[in-house]
Structure 1
Amino acid sequence: MRKNAFRALLLAFSLGATGLLSACGGDNTAAPGATDKAAATNETTASAAQTVTISFFHWRGEDVPAFKPIIEQFEKENPGIKVEMQTMPSDQYQTTAQAKISDGSAGDVFTSFPGAQFEVFAKAGLFTDLTGQPFLSNFNPALIEAGAKDGKQLAVPYQLVYNDPIYNVKLFQKYGLEPPKDWDGFLALCAKLKENGIIPIAFAGADIGPGQFMNTMVMNNLPSPDALAKIETGEEKLTNDWWVKTLGQFKELNDKGYFQPNALGTKDAAAGALFIQEKAAMLASGSYQLAQNKQQNPNLEQKLLAPITVPADEAKYEGIHTSTFLLAVNSKSSHPKEAEKFLEFLSRKDIAGQYANATGQNVTVKDVKYTSPELQTVSEWSTKKTLFQPRFTITNADIQKAVTSSIQSVLGGKSPEDAAKEAQAIADQQIGH
């Protein structure tokens, strides 16, 4: 009995020791395949740690489908860089983008409008100086001047836009109309359209309309190409004849019913819808909207025209051009090299061509091949006599706002003279007069 009990005790001890050793060994012995999984996890973690994410911040939400494959190509070519795209509507971008860019919450690569917004960003020190970057040679030098200041290239305009109203070619043909060569002809064209139940001009008076349409309306009234810029120096005044005349012509179009009802309360999307639905024969916007219109109404046939506000023999310009959508690298960015690499990628002619043809936007990059019908339609404007957008020659945002607000004032019932006086009073405050 004692021997049996002793053997049982030894057996129990032996089994316990084996279990203990087995348990201790479990900390150092991996299950089959565990080593490979751990190595893979460590490798993924290391890879993630090396990946840099940059923000691309702009206002053209309609371009997101075009930018997505471009970003995918960039990330494939640069596996250590991820690009997150952020957008907001253009009117909000002009008022709130600076705060996001300044605090670094958006925009390692960001965009700027030329003129007032560019000046504000420059004064805030938000631009990284791009002077001397090799990729600048990819651009047409004459078309990127809007991004230069004090001898430095702070940003590069990517788009070449013609800020001329769009017209419905088939409607014009239906009523035997052609783009007019003087103001009387433009008024007669509008009268003919109205007589036939067609809205002559879809006008977004509540937001972008005044800032867009003013350019073609004032271009041949200007005493000099830089007259609006001279408002800031006091050399010109908004109460001078050329601006009062322009406001009077806006009032004439409105009073004769050549804009849609409640033009002052109409926003961009609603004005665009009138044109897309072929209720309006012209849309007071620009070439940037051609592709979007076509997507929503594939049957549209569109071209550009500009109202000539003077007798034909006094016309100096046929239309307006703007180099805009200025690409820049944020001086507050934690990843400036990666941001510059993305900007360089966008400047390649094959990538710029891909963007242009997908969005219907002309670009400032050299030697790009255009294949979309919209771009081929616009190409004829490259040989016309066009003026750089006058509104963007105003670098003071408050004065620029006063100018566009004076248009809204005459649509609201004020006389051109009174609206001009109010605008000039704001300009005087800004320049200290």
Structure 2
Amino acid sequence: MSVTPELPAELSRRTVLRRAAAAGLLATPAVGLLSGCVGGGDDEPVEQAAGEKSATNPLGVKEDAPLEVVIFNGGLGTKYATDVHIPSYKKAFPKAEVKHSATEEVGTVLQPRFTSNTPPDMVNNAGSKLLDQGALVQAGQVQDLTDLLDAPSLNDPSKKVRDLLVPGTVEQGTFNGKPFVLNYAFTVFGLWYDAALFEKNGWAAPKTWADFTALCDKIKAAGITPYSYAGANAAYYQYLVLLTSAAKIGGPDVLKNIDNLEDGAWQAEPVKQAAAAWAEIGAKYGNKAHLGLKHTEVQLQQNQGKVAFYPSGSWLENEQAKDTPPGFKYAVTPVPSVTASDALPQTAIYAAAGEMYFVPAKGKNPRGGMEYLRHMLSKAGAKGFTELTKVLTVVQGAVDGLDISPGLTSGNAMLGAAGKDYFSYRFDTWYKKLDDEARAATNELMFSGGSAQKFCDRMQKAADAVKKDSSIEKFKR
């Protein structure tokens, strides 16, 4: 089926995913970052490659300068880098050696290199063990991307790179007024299921909470776990849908207040209502054995017909491609409305530009790193990415007329139905300690009989601690 995705016209309320919820540089290294062990103003300057600027080389890349890129090997794989973006860069700079490496633990692998001021030139910062992006920005380790955004695009030199992006993209990678991060993958989040299984059983995706629990009862009676996620490393999937419910109950300012560390933000009534509703789902319809499983293990169980609903982002279909049996048909539905008086409609969703890419400021070839991002942001680069990952990008019109998969088709339809009613949060990227605590508190709520009040108390205590910690730079939106 040929589909022309209709990207939203306005994204002012959408912020970074997380597809990524920030984990990365563990607490101790993060402290090192802030105390200067990753290099501050007194460090010896790094010799960086530079060439002549021209119409075809607007960033002044040195044509034979080596370029090193590190890609997270997760749900999106790495073929989009090896088969699309690196060849595009090499075509423009054939004398340049491009070194590519992939890892499932970005923070573990790269933290020592940032500490020693020997980082690569471009980093895809994602996964459950990613770098603490906020701490890196605070430590001066991230390149300001203004020059990239103001450079002419590869497709149309009369237009700047920023002019081809979905509105709101630049803001999502902005920290206190400066753009440091490119959030490249446009991701929609919701409850994923097998449409073929649902059609076979006559089940319909629920719209209200009463519909949701009634359907979960039917699914449970059929011998299938109605709802689950992996506690070992994917708890952010669950706190994402919990906070989606909170935003739908009380409006997107609920999440804005959390991001801005407003007093009592985690104690707000919509958060408590959402936590209580999801605690019931965990207690009645989850599987406690999944607390110790990884995301791919629970996702495999869904492919095997053992789990009905699974919370995730639109990378899921690609991540499970090799394990998805014939006849399995990925589909996604918005989180059901918790109350009849929710501030946002049932069709409202969490949707965001996520999957962070950044250029280290102390790398040997930051101009090349930005140029690499410019190739990613070409229509050819974006189209190739979507073809290989089944995930949209922030480049407008890049997949017009492209044949897309069932899951991407479903996600695109969900996005269209949402209209302007989508939102996200940024605290997970800004404050790693809050992300860590949210994961732990969510697992307690969903697997260990925790209460909504205990969840809110625990998160408020963690937020208050971050707010009072003068060593942590604060960000606002």
Normalising by the smaller structure, the TM-score range is 0.7 to 0.9
Does residue 349 of structure 1 match 2:367? no
1:103-142 matched pairs, under 5 angstroms: 103-112=116-125, 117-131=132-146, 132-134=150-152, 135-142=161-168
Larger CA deviation: 317-326 vs 371-380: 371-380
Shift of 1:392: 4.5
1:329 CA drift (Å): 1.7
Q: TM-score, normalised to structure 1's length?
A: 0.80
**Aligned residue runs from structure 1 range 249-398, under 5 A:** 249-256=277-284, 258-297=285-324, 298-312=326-340, 314=342, 316-317=344-345, 318-369=348-399, 370-373=402-405, 374-385=407-418, 386-390=421-425, 392=427, 395-398=430-433
1:94, distance to aligned residue in structure 2 (A): 5.5
Return the alpha-carbon distance in structure 1 between the equivalents of residues 426 and 63 of structure 2: 45
C-alpha RMSD of matched pairs (Å) = 2.8
Q: Check conservation: 1:294, 1:300, Cα contact below 8 A.
A: no
Kindly state the Cα deviation for residue 323 of structure 1 after the two structures are TM-superposed. 0.7
Matched letter for residue 148 of structure 1: T
The one-letter amino acid paired with 1:207 is: N
Q: Does 1:215 align with 2:240?
A: yes
Asked if the contact 1:98–1:121 (Cα under 8 Å) also holds between the matched residues in 2, the reply is no
The aligned counterpart of 2:182 is 156
Contact 1:116–1:392 (CA<8 Å) still a contact in 2? Answer: no
- In structure 2, the partner of 1:185 is 211
State the shift of 1:203 in Å: 0.9
8 Å Cα contact 1:128-1:330 kept in structure 2: yes
Given that 2:245 and 2:335 are in contact with CA atoms closer than 8 Å, whether structure 1 keeps it comes out as: no
Instruction: Judge conservation of contact 1:113–1:325 (CA < 8 Å) in 2.
Output: yes
Query: Take 1:225 and 1:174, find their aligned partners in 2: how far apart are those partners?
Result: 36
Tell me if structure 2 keeps the 8 A contact 1:116–1:395.
Answer: no
Match of 1:238, SS state, is: helix
Deviation at 1:264, TM superposition (A): 1.8
Give the aligned residue type for 1:362.
L
In 2, the alpha carbon distance for the partners of 1:285 and 1:100 equals: 31
Aligned positions of 1:49-88 closer than 5 A: 51-61=64-74, 62-70=76-84, 71-88=86-103
How far is 1:285 from its partner? 1.4
**317-326 or 53-62, which deviates more:** 53-62
* CA displacement at 1:328 relative to structure 2: 1.9
Aligned-pair identity (%): 20
Deviation at 1:296, TM superposition (A): 2.1
- SS where residue 286 of structure 2 aligns? coil
Pair 1:93 & 2:111 matched: no
SS at the partner of 2:230? coil
Residue 199 (structure 1) shift: 1.6
Determine the structure 2 residue equivalent to 1:146: 172
Change (3 A) 1:141 1:307: closer
Q: Distance in 2 between matches of 1:365 and 1:323?
A: 10
Name structure 2 gaps, 5 residues minimum.
1-61, 153-160, 470-477
Q: 1:63, CA displacement in angstroms?
A: 2.0
Structure 1, residues 332-354: CA drift from partner, whole Å, max 9, x if none?
11112222222211111012101
Q: How many aligned residue pairs are there?
A: 381
Q: CA 1:141–1:113 in structure 2 vs 1: closer, same or farther (change >3 Å)?
A: farther
Q: 1:109 to 1:259 in 2, by over 3 A?
A: same
Mapped partners of 1:112, 1:145: distance in 2:
18
Distance in 1 (alpha carbons) for counterparts of 2:140 and 2:365: 17
Q: Which residue of 2 aligns with 1:21?
A: none
Partners in 1 of 2:176 and 2:461 — Cα distance?
30
How far did 1:117 drift?
3.9
421-430 vs 277-286, which moves further: 421-430
Structure number with bigger Rg: 1
Alpha-carbon distance, 1:185 to partner: 0.8
By relative contact order (CA 8 Å, sep 6+), the higher-ranking structure is 2
Aligned partner of 2:14 in structure 1 is none
Q: 1:104 to 1:400 in 2, by over 3 A?
A: same
Read off the aligned partner of 1:126 and give its amino acid letter: Q
